[in-house]
Amino acid sequence: MKNIQAVAADRLPALLCQMPKAELHIHIEGSLEPELIFALAQRNGLSLPYPSVEALRAAYAFTNLQSFLDIYYAGASVLLHEADFYDMAWAYFERAAADNVVHTELFFDPQTHTARGVGMGTVVNGLHRACVDAQARLGISASLIMCFLRHLRQQEALETLEQALPYRDKIIGVGLDSGEVGNPPEKFAEVFTRCRALGLHLVAHAGEEGPPAYIWAALDVLKVERIDHGVQSSKDPALMQRLAKERVALTVCPLSNLKLCVFPDLAQHNLRELLDAGLAVTINSDDPAYFGGYMNDNFTQTFAALGLNAQHAYTLARNSFEASFIDAAAKQRHIAQLDACFDAFQ
Ligand code: ADE
Ligand code: ZN
């Protein structure tokens, strides 16, 4: 790891914003801003149960994951046509570019849409076209990870996988999201085994609200390559040792954890503890339209609350590239640019 010289506290936010970074945990439906929800509702002739953008935003007061998911699935109901999925992803890419995100791996929840009669092709083609344009017009590389909703049955996940097979070349991996507690990873063992045989990358949300046992099961039963969230791992010293030894990346989302009351305030977030224990921690936005911030907001607020420094910034950005599903040459290119950014700053 590169040796990073100290940066004065007043210059640190600029470094955090300027440094190139990868985002590995963003639910694209969670990037739908209230303004876009209203615009899409109008375009599609739908009415919303909120009188205004302000009233919708005012409803974003969550007490836990489920209280958020209820409103998040309602927001996604305005997405009907390929252009809607394209416009949603494009709006995210413009924000990502402004935050110097140079690579991103987007989660999407097809079951939220296919359950409403929207075709799998409509979802995947709209998102994929935006990914292609992000590379061409913004220089951001982007790929798609299809998530299964864990509050539904495994049989439905298997059917979703079947529907996605014609679009296999547009999807790099699969994940597992939605209500965690009561829906352990083991429930999805068979579908993940099939995805593995298809050569898909595997990730899963685990240890967001659920116990360390769910993280063990995501690793040992689902055989995932990264853990999404994973903040509950600090309750289990043996798990911490394993995650550090195997360099299993955690895609941590500080503002999400704050808004969903996983931690009472950012100063009590355990990100620093996880980093200091040698875990491959990354910072991500999760559902930025709902949690009050995109990538750079997550970085600057977390650094201020936890008193993190330039060495932490370098480690987090470097981890984001190393934990990504890009090839070794692309990783080296991004890390060289990261090094150049730090050299220029010091
Ligand atoms: N879907 C969107 N955001 C999520 C989160 N933070 N946890 C689980 N499922 C989600
Ligand atoms: Zn998430």
Model confidence over 4-51: pLDDT tens digits? 989 999 999 999 999 999 999 999 999 999 999 999 999 999 999 999
Instruction: Select from 98, 132, 106 the least CA-distant residue to 295.
Output: 98
- For domain 9-344, the CATH architecture is Alpha-Beta Barrel (3.20)
C-alpha 174 – ligand 2 centre gap (Å): 13
C-alpha 333 – ligand 1 centre gap (Å): 31
C-alpha 339 – ligand 2 centre gap (Å): 29
Pocket residue to mutate for ligand 1, from 25, 111, 177, most atoms within 8 A of Cβ: 177
d(CA 255, CA 8): 24
CA atoms within 13 A on the CB side of 90: 14
Pocket residue to mutate for ligand 1, from 109, 111, 178, 181, most atoms within 8 A of Cβ: 178
Helix (H) or strand (E) holding 22: strand 21-27
CA atoms within 13 A on the CB side of 165: 10
d(CA 226, CA 237): 18
**DSSP, res 187:** G
- In order along its 346 residues, the chain shows pLDDT tens digits of 788 989 999 999 999 999 999 999 999 999 999 999 999 999 999 999 999 999 999 999 999 999 999 999 999 999 999 999 999 999 999 999 999 999 999 999 999 999 999 999 999 999 999 999 999 999 999 999 999 999 999 999 999 999 999 999 999 999 999 999 999 999 999 999 999 999 999 999 999 999 999 999 999 999 999 999 999 999 999 999 999 999 999 999 999 999 999 999 999 999 999 999 999 999 999 999 999 999 999 999 999 999 999 999 999 999 999 999 999 999 999 999 999 999 998 8
Instruction: Select from 286, 219, 223 the least CA-distant residue to 258.
Output: 286
Residues having C-beta closer than 5 Å to ion ligand 2? 286
Predicted local confidence at residue 214, as pLDDT = 99
**Are 32 and 75 contacting, i.e. CB atoms less than 8 angstroms apart?**
yes
What are residue 191's phi and psi, to 5 degrees?
A: -65, -35
d(CA 173, CA 178): 17
Predicted local confidence at residue 107, as pLDDT = 98
Pocket residue to mutate for ligand 1, from 27, 72, 251, most atoms within 8 A of Cβ: 27
Q: Which residues line ligand 1 (CB under 6 A)?
A: 27, 30, 65, 72, 177-178, 205, 208, 256, 286-287
CB atoms within 10 A of CB 119: 13
Per-residue pLDDT reduced to its tens digit, 284-328: 999 999 999 999 999 999 999 999 999 999 999 999 999 999 999
Predicted local confidence at residue 239, as pLDDT = 98
Predicted local confidence at residue 3, as pLDDT = 86
The catalytically annotated residue of 23, 29, 33, 208 is: 208
CA atoms within 13 A on the CB side of 298: 32
d(CA 298, CA 24): 13
Active site residue 208: yes
Domain limits, the chain: 9-344
C-alpha 105 – ligand 1 centre gap (Å): 15
Residue type, 322: E
Q: How far apart are the first and last CA of the chain?
A: 17
Instruction: Select from 92, 79, 82 the least CA-distant residue to 140.
Output: 92
Please name the residue whose Cα sits nearest to atom 10 of ligand 1.
178
- Residues listed for the chain: 346
Label residues 2-37 b or e (16+ Cβ within 10 Å = b): eebeebeeeebbebbbebbbbbbbbbbbbbbbbebb
Three-state DSSP class for residue 323: coil
What are residue 142's phi and psi, to 5 degrees?
A: -145, 140
C-alpha 26 – ligand 2 centre gap (Å): 6
d(CA 197, CA 88): 31
**Helical ranges in 104-220 per DSSP H:** 110-114, 120-133, 154-164, 189-197, 212-220
What are residue 55's phi and psi, to 5 degrees?
A: -65, -40
Predicted local confidence at residue 2, as pLDDT = 83
CA atoms within 13 A on the CB side of 109: 29
**Are 171 and 200 contacting, i.e. CB atoms less than 8 angstroms apart?**
yes
Which atom of ligand 1 lies nearest, measured to the CA of 287? 3
